[in-house]
């Protein structure tokens, strides 16, 4: 009896503790645009905090320049900066949300923002966009003339990228640039391999096809083998670690991850065709087997090409690549007449628990303004602007110092751009498991031994995807 009472009391205490410690944020209430104050008192006093990726010097520099400018608009407002690791981003943000310490403005990206929509961490920014549009002018929306201007969502922005940070009709992240996968090239290696780079005749240009790409790979492989570089590989594919490359490849072959009903659809002839292509890249030693470590990479000047969406400044200024870098569009896979190019969003969201949402929105409005975009571009954002009036890189600041490079690769082929949005066809909490399943499938296809049995690879993927979608 004494033991029973002890257990009973312990159970009741546990329930009381759990009840008392439940800090799960309440569901954010819908906001009416009419209730949002866009033009705040410039003399207001407040402190807000913005979270940026800790390992990205460019990002910190870009945001600091905006903070400095914002102080001219709101001299009594203090903006503090904190940092988050990209490697454990979702868990780190989630922990701070539960602890009540999450900053007012939070860096995010696709597809990670989906997790934080599911947990209702971020504010639906659509009413704030509408509130901006209702004003004759928005005081933090600074134009080319240095004056506050009229905000027009459809006219001012490449809205398809806002769509990539939306779920349904609700937008959760304001993009700070247009992020699109391109092919970075080492012009020195390609030239030595005998690849024609004459602008008038080259196949290495925006709109090139996968067949063109494979032809270049063959020449580079031969050059490497004949010049003591047998252990180096032709290109860094990012196939096994990044959905922005492997998912568009699947779509290009006509494959689906989930169908429109949210059912697993990965087991198809189109998927097998895509994975066979990947296995062929390994067998020809264009990319490394996933079981083989390699010290050579595009970054250190050992590989000829790289699939990436990063700012050109990240590579053009490396010692091993100085004067040897250019870029072209991602090669179009045309076998199924549905070529796709990976695209996505990096930008900023507003914490649903913030007590200064309107001030946070004023900052994001400045970030997306002509003045804000131009200022960030001068401080490391060498990616295509989200604004239509800054599309020409030869005149806009985002192309400054790199005008001789083919920066139009970033903006080429808007009709082909696609984000990894299949998560929205099922419960968003399944995202992490689904994402890992697709990455592992490509990892296995890059393993020469496992690639001998594609049926086994796909069966394992189907199992892992279904496990991810189980309601616990």
Q: Which of 435, 364, 455 shows the shortest CA–CA distance to 123?
A: 364
Mean pLDDT on 44-67: 94
Q: In the predicted model, is pLDDT for residue 66 greater than 60? A: yes
What are the structure tokens assigned to 284, written together?
Answer: 């020809």
Mean pLDDT on 222-228: 97
Q: State what percent of residues in the chain have pLDDT above 70.
A: 93
CA distance 469 to 263: 10
What pTM, to 2 d.p., does this model score?
0.87
What confidence score (pLDDT) does residue 105 get?
98
At residue 241 the predicted structure's pLDDT band, cuts being 50, 70 and 90, is confident
Higher pLDDT, 201 or 239: 201
What confidence score (pLDDT) does residue 429 get?
84
What confidence score (pLDDT) does residue 471 get?
61
Q: Average pLDDT of the chain?
A: 91
Could you please report the per-residue DSSP string of 382-397?
Answer: -S--SBGGG--TTTSG
What confidence score (pLDDT) does residue 240 get?
81
Residue 133 parent element (H or E): helix 126-133
Q: In the predicted model, is pLDDT for residue 25 greater than 80? A: no
Higher pLDDT, 237 or 75: 75
**Is residue 221 a contact partner of residue 232, using CB atoms and an 8 Å limit?**
no
Q: What is the pLDDT of residues 318-362, one digit of tens each?
A: 999 999 999 999 999 998 999 999 999 999 999 999 999 999 999
Q: State what percent of residues in the chain have pLDDT above 90.
A: 81
CA distance 261 to 117: 21
What confidence score (pLDDT) does residue 10 get?
40
Q: Which domains does the chain have, with CATH numbers?
A: 33-178+345-406 (3.40.190.10), 182-342+418-468 (3.40.190.10)
């Amino acid at each position: 009896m004494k033991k029973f009472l002890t257990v009973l009391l312990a159970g009741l205490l546990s329930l009381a503790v759990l009840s008392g410690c439940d800090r799960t944020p309440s569901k954010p209430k819908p906001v009416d645009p009419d209730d949002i104050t866009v033009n705040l008192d410039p003399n207001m006093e407040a402190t807000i905090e913005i979270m940026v990726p800790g390992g990205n010097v460019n990002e910190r520099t870009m945001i600091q320049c905006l903070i400095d400018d914002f102080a001219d608009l709101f001299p009594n407002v203090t903006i503090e900066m904190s940092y988050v690791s990209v490697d454990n981003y979702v868990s780190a943000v989630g922990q701070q949300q539960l602890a009540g310490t999450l900053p007012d403005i939070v860096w995010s990206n696709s597809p990670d923002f989906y997790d934080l929509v599911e947990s209702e961490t971020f504010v639906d920014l659509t009413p704030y966009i509408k509130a901006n549009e209702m004003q004759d002018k928005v005081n933090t929306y600074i134009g080319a003339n240095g004056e506050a201007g009229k905000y027009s969502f459809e006219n001012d922005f490449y809205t398809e990228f806002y769509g990539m940070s939306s779920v349904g009709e609700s937008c959760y992240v304001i993009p700070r640039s247009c992020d699109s996968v391109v092919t970075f090239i080492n012009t020195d290696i390609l030239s030595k391999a005998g690849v024609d780079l004459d602008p008038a005749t080259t196949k290495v240009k925006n709109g090139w096809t996968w067949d063109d790409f494979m032809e270049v790979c063959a020449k580079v492989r031969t050059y490497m083998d004949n010049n003591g570089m047998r252990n180096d590989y032709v290109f860094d594919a990012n196939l096994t670690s990044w959905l922005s490359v492997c998912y568009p490849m699947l779509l290009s072959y006509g494959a689906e991850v989930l169908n429109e009903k949210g059912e697993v659809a990965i087991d198809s002839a189109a998927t097998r065709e895509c994975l066979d292509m990947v296995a062929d890249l390994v067998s020809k030693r264009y990319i490394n087997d996933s079981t083989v470590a390699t010290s050579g990479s595009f970054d250190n000047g050992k590989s000829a090409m790289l699939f990436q969406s990063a700012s050109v400044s990240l590579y053009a200024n490396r010692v091993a690549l100085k004067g040897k870098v250019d870029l072209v569009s991602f090669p179009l896979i045309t076998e199924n007449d549905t070529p796709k190019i990976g695209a996505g969003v990096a930008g900023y969201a507003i914490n649903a628990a913030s007590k200064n949402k309107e001030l946070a929105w004023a900052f994001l409005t400045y970030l997306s303004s002509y003045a804000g975009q131009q200022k960030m571009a001068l401080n490391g954002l060498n990616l295509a602007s989200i604004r239509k009036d800054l599309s020409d890189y030869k005149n806009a600041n985002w192309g400054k110092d790199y005008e001789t490079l083919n920066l139009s690769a970033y903006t080429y082929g808007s009709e082909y751009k696609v984000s990894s949005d299949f998560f929205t066809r099922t419960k968003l909490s399944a995202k992490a498991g689904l994402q890992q399943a697709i990455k592992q499938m490509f990892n296995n296809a890059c393993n020469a031994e496992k690639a001998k049995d594609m049926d086994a690879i796909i069966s394992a993927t189907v199992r892992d995807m279904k496990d991810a979608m189980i309601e616990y």
